[in-house]
Chains A and B, each alone.
Chain A
Amino acid sequence: MIGVELMKMLRRPRTWVVIALIDALPTLVAFLLALTDVGPRPGTGPAFLSAVLNNGVLFPAAALAIVLPLFLPVSVAIVSGDSIAGEAQAGTLRYLLARPAGRTRLLVAKLVTVLVFVAMAVVVVVVTGYFVGTSLFGTGQLAGGNIVSVSGEPLTPQQAALRTLLAMAYVAFSMLGVAAMAVFLSTLTDSPLAAAMGALAFLVASSLLLTLDAADSIRPYLPTRYWLAFVDLFRQPILWRDIVRGVGLQSLYVAVLLGAAWANFSTKDIKS
């Protein structure tokens, strides 16, 4: 079942278009930076961008920071929102369930598919980020090959590579809250668009509340609160506090929302 769902995702042209679009933005940013040589002043703009001009090895992290706030969650919401509602809208859900695929199995297969999609998107962004970054900005030979970390201490290339891998894992994990929300909504409605938009509304609301001082007391519980904590992985030494909290918070959201999705889907009357 999982294999079937993966094949369905991979054979869908949409999957590849979405990944290409996610990838296009950081690549465009890299070219603009290289052409103009005008980086944002340190402390402004997306994370790492000011440092990238000196060393392209940091560009994968910068690319993650560029797609993290909007592009990645939008694509995850689209793919996850489509999971059940898309089948319902196409009418294939009733045939899958009468086959019988099994409701829980189908839901698990859809979740695994979403996970694979997130992983693919993150890997593609990082890999292209690395190639684009190093070819446009060099590998920082002038500074002895070391990378200046966010906190000012130097990082060896090995350290930088390890931390980029950790950052990929953390960013992918951060997307699971959105994915779980979209999958849950996808079991509620027969419209994939409504499910994706609902999940995005959830994110926009969270991002908006983060900027509001009056929402200070609920801030630690907002799903997007710790998203950018992956920047802390590039401090020397790594500042784990927010990352650990971020993982815990996402786990909570994922557990609750997937539980709700399962409870709803396994007892739902399929009328589509």
Chain B
Amino acid sequence: MTATTAPSGRVPAGPVTATAAIRTVGLTKRYGSVTAVDGIDLDVPPGDIYGFLGPNGSGKTTTVRMLLGLVLPTAGTVEVLGARIPKHARSVLHRVGALVEAPAAYGHLGARANLSIMDAAGPGGSRRTRRARIDRALEQVGLAGVGRRPVKAYSLGMRQRLGIAAALLRKPDLLILDEPTNGLDPRGIQEIRQLLLDLNASAGTTIFLSSHLLAEVEHLCKRVGVVDRGRLVLQDSLSALRAPTGSVVLRTPDPEWAVGVLDGDLRERSGDRLVVRAADPAELNARLVRHGIRITELTEERRTLEEVVLAVTTGSSDRVDGAVPPTTGPRAEVLSTDDSAWDRPPAGPPVPLPSRPPRDSFSWPAGRDTTEPEAGWPPAPSEPVSPAPDDHGADQSHPGPGREPARSEAVRPAPDDPDVDPGGSAADRAGSDQPEARSEESA
């Protein structure tokens, strides 16, 4: 039933229990008539790194709060490390380290005093080892030399590190982290990512990472769950989601010849870049070479996580449109840091964007936690899907403005914006959601 580890003991590598680290069944939260979380069945095995994705307002944070017993479910059950939450929260939550939305601390106290208070406030933190544990946690997050400065003088990145240190204080068996790299600069993000990977590898710590930053999840996670409007629309391993699509992307200086040779298998063409239906890239290569066609680049097409997520989710709930329906669907706002996407020649005449079906008529696959790639996934036949072999999200909907990016649309991210933010929308950057996180990059 419960795990066999001592409350603050170090867990040996590998799974320590047969029970799931997190399991929810039919987890539902309604606020009045609004259903924030709708029948979510999470299953996170021990030792996993699980990415919990979804647009803003899709129910991620409410779910995380229910896992920690902060929000009480309307229906359904939560089990964390084998114990029911909130009923047995006291027996198990001290083995869980959490970062919920933003970090928080008492501003007039320093880092050590803050960690000490939090540690003393609950079970499972021995007073004898407290000082050593605090020093170790601060060391882990890179705040070892922080001294006695009050937290109110900290930068956003330092607060974030302190929040992570608080989560690590008791060597938890499970880390529940909501946007852990908020406010960190690229180096800080890299450090925290490495720290999490190390913890997972050396101590077998299960990590549940809630995020809308796809790059973060793609770099870290073994499995992902995607929520959209309160429902879990996808739960699968990352490698399965990113399996080859059965197409091959190639570049050739002789596109006309190639088109002639490939004819029926050609799915899409833009300039010298061809997308070809082919089960075996090697065989395709041999075929083209046999015809004397030169090839500069040939890659198996894989869906990026961004494409997968965009396919199963609808727009961010923080986007509020007026009465007139927009001519473009939410996908028109796909953000990309891949500037080369803008440099690609337009794919023929501008493709009309598929307008998103209204909510009521849109049904998700019945088996929500199985992957059903055919149900509503792109690529839609008329839609030019960028294969984006470089892992960057590709803009798949902008109607090809040519070499000059349409800056006037004001939906382009800043060129130095490190976040690939598919769920983002203009409202995000207008300051409705974590404005500080975006404005401050220094740690």
**A interface residues, Cβ below 8 angstroms from B:** 1, 3-4, 7-8, 11-13, 90-92, 94-102, 267, 269-271
Contact = CB atoms under 8 A, between A and B. Distances in A.
A98 to B, nearest CB: 4
B72 A267 contact: yes
A8 B106 contact: yes
Contacts of A13: 108
A238 to B, nearest CB: 44
Report the interface size class on chain B.
20 to 34
Contact of A96 (B108, B121, B123): B121
B104 A98 contact: no
B104 A95 contact: yes
Contacts of A12: 108
A98 B121 contact: no
A100 B109 CA distance: 21
B69 A4 contact: no
Given A11-B109, A92-B106, A98 B69 contact: yes
Q: Top 8 A-B pairs ranked by shortest CB distance?
A: A91-B104, A99-B122, A270-B70, A100-B93, A98-B68, A269-B71, A101-B121, A92-B104
Interface in B364-385: none
B102 A91 contact: yes
A265 to B, nearest CB: 12
Interface in B93-140: 93-94, 96, 98, 100-109, 113, 117-118, 120-123
B122 A101 contact: yes
Contacts of A98: 68-70, 93, 96, 98, 100
A95 B151 CA distance: 16
B166 interface: yes
A94 B100 contact: yes
Given A90-B104, A271-B71, A100 B122 contact: yes
A269 B106 contact: no
A78 B69 CA distance: 29
A96 B65 contact: no
A4 B117 contact: yes
B298 interface: no
Which residue of A7, A13, A101 has the most chain B CB atoms within 10 A of its CB atom? Answer: A101
A99 B71 contact: no
A271 B68 CA distance: 12
A204 to B, nearest CB: 31
Given A3-B120, A98-B93, A270 B104 contact: no
A270 B65 contact: yes
Contacts of B102: 91
Contacts of B109: 11
30 contacts: A1-B121, A1-B122, A4-B120, A8-B106, A8-B117, A13-B108, A90-B105, A91-B104, A92-B104, A92-B106, A94-B65, A94-B100, A94-B104, A95-B98, A95-B100, A95-B118, A97-B68, A97-B69, A98-B68, A98-B70, A98-B93, A98-B96, A99-B121, A100-B89, A100-B93, A100-B122, A100-B123, A269-B71, A270-B65, A271-B71
Contacts of B121: 1, 4, 96, 99, 101
B177 to A, nearest CB: 12
Contacts of A7: 117
Interface in B75-105: 89-90, 93-94, 96, 98, 100-105
